[in-house]
Amino acid sequence: MEEWVGYKWHEYVTRQALGEFPEHAVYLKDEARSLGVLFRAFGGDPALSLVTAEPRHFRLRRRFLHKLAGTHRKFELAWRDEQNLRLPEKVARFPSKQLNRDLYIWLAALAASPVPGSSDWFTGNQSLVQSVIARWPGLENVYQRLVRQTLRWRPDPENLPEKEAAREQAIRQALVHPGSVNTLPTASTDPWPVIVWLYPALEQSTASGQVTGDDDNQSSPGGLAKKNKRRQAERVDAFDRDQGLMIFRLESLFSWTDFIPVDRAGDDTDEEDAEAVADDMDMISVSRDRKETSSSIKFDLDLPSEEHDDLRLGPGIHLPEWDWRSQSYRDAFCCVQPMLAKDVVPAELPEDLRRPAKRLQRQFSALKPLKQWQKRQVDGDELDLDACLEREVQNRRGQGVIDQKLFQRCQQNQRDLACLVLADASLSTETYINNHQRVIDIARDGLQLLSEALQASRDPFALFAFSSRRRDHVRFHHLKSFDEAYTSTIRGRIQALEPGFYTRMGAAIRQSIKLLQTRHEHQKILLLLTDGKPNDLDIYEGRYGVEDTRMAVQEAHKAGITPFCVTIDDEASDYLPYVFGSNNYVVIRDPAQLPLQLPKLYLNLTQ
């Protein structure tokens, strides 16, 4: 009973201190799709990702109720950098859902505008507001409504000391009449957050644990889902586990910030509330202590020995990579290594795929080349009896001009196209769907059913898969070339395909372009199957990987190749329109339907 009363008391005090309206809350996860469309419609950078902003710490003059509830120390505010637009996870500041939603819309419009010339946060935001209202006059009423509600939430200048009151008056004046205040008075505390403005990007330094080198930047394999919210951290010396029972100083027993040794490299933990604990901590201390888990991580990520690895076909192919920061190519930056599965056992089509395969074969057999007779030819395979009869009639009538085209020729009406299917075989495809089937299993079924269909239509096709571990080892798995027949050996290679490593998508696309350029067919299709964003262990993460993949797609278009992406990534709509274009991708909402949907997508592409 005491715990229940204490919990209810804490809930009541916190709600009163926050001054929010939880019944009118609007969440970013529900608005993200429409906000992304609006952000790009306002002229925002289409390469930016829409993610959650982490809380910022403020040294404010808090009221007694704020101190009692422990609130108003951290605030989620909007800001942007070169890779992301970060917005609050939840907006419940205003007494209506429409106003809270309007705040998201206003912040998206503000972030979509060009960066103001002034580097000062105070004057720069005023210029930004003026620019947005000048470009989109319809947003002025939205802004004024938000300002009126914001002023009610801000502290009253009459209750503040002189310097803080002068600063608050200046902020209020700047909100109501943007551009009317040039300087912000200083005070000993931080100004109350302005929720309708953009804040500077958080500093990225070595103290925050951000490492850009090849060895220490451990990203998620194959585009595994990651939390978007970042947290403040600092580098410390390795935690000494042998220092005895007293692992903290007694005088810091009741401090607000605890020192907790968390092994970042370990995945297995019994702490169910570890994420909540991390949210409550002001600073997370990160050390390089990996004595116990480094061997297991290295076992998972390092390349297998040649004895247990697939066969390498040649020394490797060096390809360029696009660096969006310098807007230039890095020549011979990546090494694509063609691989062939070793000791493959020829296999037949699995039993559960035989019935849909027969149905697809009947459907696709209608596309195979048909014989057609071309009549009235100067030469050909046989005499054209109709033409000969007509000539005899003309001859007997004594007509002067007699048609000499008396033959007919047989030709096959052949579809002039070639298709290369490129499958993502990164470690993320190890993920289970519906707790019984892996993504890689679904992809293999899709490759086999599509191959059975294309075999019936006699369209030339090739099958490859890819994964990567840094730029110097992009694995390009050879499943079937254009010149190989689809046999039980090819089925064995498909069934032997296993996931591993990461997703350096740009290099794999460029190698596929080189293979398609050797074909003489008029229509060339590059069909990409993937389950996530491009990423790798080194710098190939975030916007860098997206921009390189986008440039590789543009190279395919310039080469006369039609690239098309098929994905099961729920978040693909955030970045695939920018990478492939709005009409060159499709998201399969139910991954289990991929094997049956793939041949249908191919028909739509080629008809």
pLDDT by residue (tens digit) across 38-87?
998 898 888 888 888 888 888 888 777 777 777 778 889 999 888 889 99
Q: What is the pLDDT of residue 84?
A: 87
**What is the token pair recorded at 294?**
């480094």
Residue identified by tokens 């069909």 is: 527
pLDDT for residue 229 is more than 60: no
Over residues 287-297, mean pLDDT: 45
Inter-CA distances, 473 with 16, 33, 504, Å:
57, 36, 10
At residue 184, φ and ψ (nearest 5 deg) are -105, 115
487 — pLDDT class (breaks 50, 70, 90): very high
What the chain holds in terms of domains, given with CATH numbers, is: 2-176 (no CATH), 203-241+257-268+276-294 (no CATH), 311-364+415-606 (3.40.50.410), 374-411 (no CATH)
Q: Give dist(CA 195, CA 146) in Å, integer.
A: 9
List, for residues 182-221, the tens digit of each pLDDT value.
999 999 888 989 999 999 887 654 333 333 334 334 333 3
Instruction: Quickly tell me which residue has 């890819």 as its tokens.
Output: 466
Residue 588, token pair as written in the block: 């399969």
**What percent of the chain lies above the pLDDT cut of 70?**
79
pLDDT in tens, 116-149: 655 688 999 999 999 999 999 999 999 999 999 9
Please write the tens of the pLDDT for every residue from 381-413: 788 888 888 888 888 877 766 667 878 877 665
In degrees and rounded to multiples of 5, residue 585 shows phi and psi of: -155, 165
In the predicted model, what is the mean pLDDT of the chain?
A: 81
Mean pLDDT of 77-100: 90
DSSP readout, 386-404?
Answer: HHHHHHHHHHHHT-S----
User: Looking at residue 507, what is its pLDDT?
Assistant: 96
Please answer whether residues 448 and 489 qualify as being in contact, where contact means their C-beta atoms are separated by less than 8 angstroms.
no
Distance CA 47, CA 32 (A): 15
Task: Answer whether residue 234 shows pLDDT above 80.
Answer: no
Residue with tokens 């990423």: 535
> 173 near 123, Cβ under 8 Å?
no
Q: What is the pLDDT of residue 496?
A: 93
Higher-pLDDT residue of 411 and 273 is: 411
**First vs last Cα of the chain: how many Å apart?**
70
pLDDT of residue 248: 44
pLDDT digits (tens, 9 = 90+) for 313-352: 888 999 999 999 899 999 999 999 999 998 899 999 999 9
- For residue 514, CA distances in Å to 154, 327, 416, 521, 537 come to 61, 23, 19, 14, 25
* pLDDT beyond 90 at 281: no
